[in-house]
Amino acid sequence: MLEVRNFPVNKIYPFASSRSVGKKIRFKSQEYEVIELTKENVEKYAKDIQLALFSAGASVSKEYAPLFAQKGIYVVDNSSAWRMEKDIPLVVPEVNPHTLSKDKKIIANPNCSTIQMVVVLAPIHRYVRIKRIIVSTYQSVSGAGGKAMVELFNEAQVVLEQLKKTDSLLTFNNSFFCVEKQQPSVFPKQIAFNLIPQIDIFLENLYTKEEMKMVNETKKILESPDIKISAQCVRVPVFRGHSESVWIETEKKITVQQAKEILSIAKGVKVIDEPTSQDPRLRYSTPVECAQKQITYVGRIREDLSCENGLVMWIVSDNLLKGAALNAVQILEEMVTRKIV
């Protein structure tokens, strides 16, 4: 993303764990050797570093982000470690760039499913105040990492091989559709041609951590602690791109046409919503169509038949881009624009 968006980088310092030492990272046709992430190396290199992008999980971030920050380095962290800390900005540049400031050295990059939702909802919220959000997600396996993609690939191969041996896909022997789960595995159940209504661990209130991230991060990013939110997060056998069915209830009435007009000029959003178009691409977006696109798509915008002032919609975006790397780089860009760095 730094390369694709041509962010002005003089030199990169690829930090990683000892396992990766010896590996090389290619950036703008130059190779850089991996530096082991240790306190000593942070001391050693800090004076040459201006910005740090963290994407190594919450525990590494908890330990090392402050070390960088103490040296005056701005850290944009992709983990959940800092997101809900009171003094840490949780930033989606199209939504709350004003929360960035010179004195906030650590900046949190929100959860993937949250980002794509708020980038669409924020312009509506500004216009008519959203009171309540209900969201059911359809999240791709890449959100669980590269190994998860391999797991889907391998399981899908097993199922297809089994099905080749049957006379008919309408076979009444369901075992052909099932794979035996190999251990260790990323997912707790089969993901190929199946669904898993669990992302991350379960919390005491019976929601998963992923669901509560959507609840809490959305309130923080929209700076509206009173919005009522409920989420159900489901893993689907898609490689890349998260999708969401979203219902909103607003304080004032907003028509479908008004919502479309607002969203058609919203930054980072593209309305694809001509359901009866001759051209299937214009009807609504789907994950394979959103992959590698630096934008969030919204469609199927219509009135919520179950409440007075409500809308339903379908939101799709590349979880590896807007949901992660793109948003992080956009935060850096915003910091440049605001002359913070």
What is the smallest separation between the CB atom of 14 and a second copy, expressed in angstroms?
17
Closest CA to 251 of 127, 119, 117, 134: 127
What is the smallest separation between the CB atom of 163 and a second copy, expressed in angstroms?
6
Q: Helix 209-221 vs helix 112-128: angle between axes, to the nearest 10 degrees?
A: 40
Query: Does 209 help bind a second copy (rule: CB under 8 A)?
Result: no
Work out whether strand 74-77 and strand 51-54 pair parallel, antiparallel, or are unpaired. Answer: parallel
CA distance 170 to 168: 5
Query: Does 21 help bind a second copy (rule: CB under 8 A)?
Result: no
Contacting residue, 193, 200, 209, 340, with a second copy by CB under 8 A: 193
**142, 149 Cβ separation under 8 angstroms:** yes
Query: Does 2 help bind a second copy (rule: CB under 8 A)?
Result: no
What is the smallest separation between the CB atom of 36 and a second copy, expressed in angstroms?
23
Which entry of 125, 233, 242, 290 is annotated as an active-site residue? 242
8-state DSSP, 322: I
Q: What letter represents residue 283's amino acid?
A: R
What is the smallest separation between the CB atom of 197 and a second copy, expressed in angstroms?
5
**273, 284 Cβ separation under 8 angstroms:** yes
Query: Does 250 help bind a second copy (rule: CB under 8 A)?
Result: no
Contacting residue, 22, 206, 225, 252, with a second copy by CB under 8 A: 206
What is the smallest separation between the CB atom of 223 and a second copy, expressed in angstroms?
18
- Nearer residue to a second copy within complex by CB, 88 or 325: 325
264-323 binders of a second copy (CB under 8 A): 275-276, 280, 283-284, 286-289, 291-292, 299-307, 310, 312, 314
CA distance 261 to 241: 25
Closest CA to 148 of 209, 19, 237: 237
CA distance 1 to 218: 24
79-98 binders of a second copy (CB under 8 A): none
Query: Does 257 help bind a second copy (rule: CB under 8 A)?
Result: no
Q: Is the peptide bond before 184 cis (omega within 30 degrees of 0)?
A: yes
- Nearer residue to a second copy within complex by CB, 34 or 236: 236
112 is catalytic: yes
Query: Does 133 help bind a second copy (rule: CB under 8 A)?
Result: yes
Q: Which amino acids are annotated catalytic?
A: 112, 242
